[in-house]
Structure 1
Amino acid sequence: MTCETWAPGACDPARRSLLRATAGAGSVLAVAAAVPFVASLTPSQRARAAGAPVEVDIDKLAPGELMVVEWRGKPVWILRRTPEMLASLARAEQHLADPGSAVDAQQPDYARNAHRSIRPEIFVAVGLCTHLGCSPSSVFEPGHGALGADWPGGFLCPCHGSTFDLAGRVYRNKPAPTNLEVPPHTFLSDTRLRIGADAGTPA
């Protein structure tokens, strides 16, 4: 079989060059098209936040300041408590439903203490009310008008009025059944936190 019989015009050198160039361009376009697809398989920040641990730099978090990050699609609060905020925890205890955080699922063992944290000044909690999942607002000012003169500062759920102290412990006679959740977390350094994993999390 001659090349003319197999493909008319294929024996023409100019045509052969055109076929090679076309095939080469097609390969380049296929690779170029694959790059965005491969890139789409790389976990994005949001995908990591949906399940994997999240690392957070808290170096610039000032005393009395709250920052919010996302983990597993939930808002996670990181609050750097002042000495005054820490002192308010003891004053609130007599009004709390569960001051000792008796429910195991509320926090890891290392956060089962009066300040519910690894380091007293750094409080980490999932910012969702345990009643119906609304996100409480921060009301850090003691004696806030709407909450009474004896209010020591804490969090107020705007949906149904549940209140929490500055360790996320719920006040008595409120709709929220339990304290705010403290997620697994660990300090990678003095200024860096990993949320969603701790020393007990399997690698």
Structure 2
Amino acid sequence: MSNEGVNKGRRNLLIGATAGVGAVGAVFAAVPFVKSWKPSEKAKAAGAPVETDYSKLENGQQITIEWRGKPVWVMRRDPAMLKAVTASNELVADPDSTNEKQQPENCQNEYRSIEPEIFVAIGLCTHLGCSPKLFADAGSVDATWLGGFFCACHGSKFDLAGRVYKSVPANANLEIPPYTIDTINKTILVGGES
């Protein structure tokens, strides 16, 4: 048999096109498989851990992520904020955060956090579940205000460690979820083992 009638350029084009289509098909087939490794939305809602990067978070800045259908705040506190936490001990109802159900054991400290400058809390008021807003500047809510979270729904106030002020409708500190922090990679895993 003779190869005189074979167009080698056309053969190479067809081989290349077939290989290209096969490669694209393999990628499209692999995407659902790789996505199946991630927790489903149902699993996330049921409490699967959620990871977030806090490396770009600047001093005084707060971001909100979702875990178990709840807003979770991640905030980087600057030295002035940390000083305000200590100064607000006289104003808050539970300065020592004695109720261990409100925070994991590794967060039962003055700043209610694993690392003092990184604050993680569930962003729901412990009165009726509204979402308080951050007012970091002293005096921005009232004359005694040293900075913290104010719930406009019914007037509950929390300091920059999420501790509830005395004589407000809320009767408990903001809840701290279980979390781990990776200070090398600058990530937080909310819902992870603490």
Tell me the TM-score normalised to structure 2 length: 0.77
Unaligned 5+ runs, structure 1: 1-34
For the pair 1:112 / 2:108, whether they are aligned, the reply is: yes
Check whether the contact 2:179–2:191 (CA below 8 A) recurs between aligned residues: yes
Q: Which whole-Å CA distance do the structure 1 matches of 2:136 and 2:40 have between them?
A: 31
Q: Which whole-Å CA distance do the structure 1 matches of 2:131 and 2:166 have between them?
A: 19
| 1:63-102 → structure 2 map (5 Å cutoff) | 63-102=59-98
Q: Which whole-Å CA distance do the structure 1 matches of 2:164 and 2:49 have between them?
A: 27
Q: Which whole-Å CA distance do the structure 2 matches of 1:198 and 1:118 have between them?
A: 13
Cα RMSD of the aligned pairs, angstroms, is 1.8
Deviation string for 1:127-169 (max 9, x for gaps)?
A: 000011000011111111xx22331110001110000000000
Change (3 A) 1:44 1:111: closer
Alignment-mate amino acid for residue 53 of structure 1: P
3-state DSSP class of the match of 2:171?
coil
Task: Name the structure 2 match of 1:47.
Answer: 42
Q: Which whole-Å CA distance do the structure 2 matches of 1:89 and 1:45 have between them?
A: 38
3-state DSSP class of the match of 1:91?
helix
Deviation string for 1:1-37 (max 9, x for gaps)?
A: xxxxxxxxxxxxxxxxxxxxxxxxxxxxxxxxxx9xx
How far does residue 188 in structure 1 lie from its aligned partner after superposition? 2.9
Task: Name the structure 2 match of 1:62.
Answer: 58
Unaligned 5+ runs, structure 2: 1-28
| 1:7-22 → structure 2 map (5 Å cutoff) | none
Alignment-mate amino acid for residue 90 of structure 2: Q
Alignment-mate amino acid for residue 175 of structure 1: P
Aligned length: 160
Tell me the TM-score normalised to structure 1 length: 0.74
Which one of the candidate residues 151, 164, 178 is aligned to 1:157?
151
Alignment-mate amino acid for residue 76 of structure 1: V
3-state DSSP class of the match of 1:97?
coil
Check whether the contact 1:48–1:54 (CA below 8 A) recurs between aligned residues: no
Alignment-mate amino acid for residue 160 of structure 2: L
Q: Which whole-Å CA distance do the structure 1 matches of 2:63 and 2:96 have between them?
A: 25
Alignment-mate amino acid for residue 93 of structure 2: A
| 1:157-176 → structure 2 map (5 Å cutoff) | 157-176=151-170
Structure 1 segments of 4 or more deviating over 3 A? 41-49
For the pair 1:135 / 2:141, whether they are aligned, the reply is: no
